[in-house]
Amino acid sequence: MKKRTLTERNIPGALLAGARWLLNPVSEGGVKQVPRIKLLAGGPEILADIERMRAHPTGRRILGERPDLGAALSDSAALAAMPAGSLGRTFHEAMDIPGGVPGFLLAATIYLDGFFDSFEMSEDAQYYIARSRWLHDLFHVVTGYGTDLPGEGLLIYFALGYEHHVPYRAASLSPLGLGPGLFIRPSCGQRAWRALLRDAHARGLAASRVTPPECVPWEELLPRPLDEVRDALGIVPFLEDTSRWLDHTWFGRQAAMGFGAYPRSAKRAQLALTVVRAGVDYRDLFRMSRAKGRELFDLAAAGAAAEEIRAAAL
């Protein structure tokens, strides 16, 4: 079978992925559609971002040295030891919580079903895409947008400006941009909500003009004070508590829980975390067949030793 390339757009495939995402964004099945939308519809933009990196002194250095952002953000001990108020310490306190979904789960969904490996691309493109998969949780911290449903909706619009540099109207009509309007009915009211989405998008565009996210040496910024990082990146933090706008209607509660899918996804995430901590690379885990993945998850659920889980992964 001929491999896909980033030079061509597959708009029907991207729209199908977008429709599947809109069916239930807060679920594993929905989350895995996000990289599909981006790669199928935005390949030329990805290639343009890589050229921007090559022309930017810091971006060029990142491509040359290829630091592992995933490893830096997964090192809980190192993050916890960073100075209070630093980007890394704040990231750790916000994301490393009992029962939370580990960052690698979002990053790794691109490898499900052989999707990432179905593309023929340069090593620079492979590195750029893999690195960009770790930015979502960092964006939560530097922007101040919460991980509740309204916070996620605002972060989508920030990222559409910051990462993708698309005008507001195009952002609002994209599958990712439609989601916050369809699924989120915050108590602040729809007029105020639309204004907040527009504001989040404007903040993202403004920050992208200072330094696009692909040219930011995120690993080097982790020990620095969060306020200093925000100033350097041109990111004006959002200081309101979005959780107070939660929609407490039946639909709002169901949407926030993925219409029943989120608890199952969270349980699978904890089993995946056990497997990864046993020594199985998260990329290898998500590239495995469903049957092999279930075997490892069953071992993790049964309390198998790390050696047994690693042996079963071979």
pLDDT at 209 over 70: yes
Residue appearing with tokens 């992208």: 208
Cβ–Cβ under 8 Å, residues 9 and 40: yes
Q: Give the pLDDT of residue 108.
A: 87
Say whether pLDDT at 253 is over 70.
Answer: no
| Euclidean distance between CA atoms 298 and 312, whole angstroms | 11
Q: Using the predicted structure, report yes or no on whether residue 195 has a pLDDT greater than 80.
A: yes
Q: What is the structure's pLDDT at 147?
A: 87
Q: What is the pLDDT of residue 234?
A: 97
CA angle 231, 237, 74 (to 5 degrees): 85
Q: What is the pLDDT of residues 91-100, one digit of tens each?
A: 999 987 766 6
pLDDT tens, residue by residue, 81-140: 999 999 999 999 998 776 666 777 788 889 988 999 999 999 999 999 999 999 999 999
For the cut 90, the answer to whether the pLDDT of residue 264 exceeds it is no
Is this prediction's pTM over 0.85?
Answer: yes
Going by pLDDT thresholds of 50, 70 and 90, the confidence category of residue 249 is low
How does pLDDT run across 161-190, given as a tens digit for each residue? Answer: 999 999 999 999 998 998 888 778 888 888
Q: Are 85 and 79 in contact (CB under 8 A)?
A: no
Confidence at residue 13, expressed as pLDDT on a 0 to 100 scale? 95
* 8 A C-beta contact, residue 242 and residue 146: yes
pLDDT of residue 305: 95
Q: How far apart are CA 4 and CA 34, in angstroms?
A: 17
Summarised one tens digit per residue, pLDDT across range 283-295 is: 999 899 989 989 9
- The burial of 288, by beta-carbon neighbours within 10 Å (0-12 exposed, 13-18 middle, 19 or more buried), is given as middle
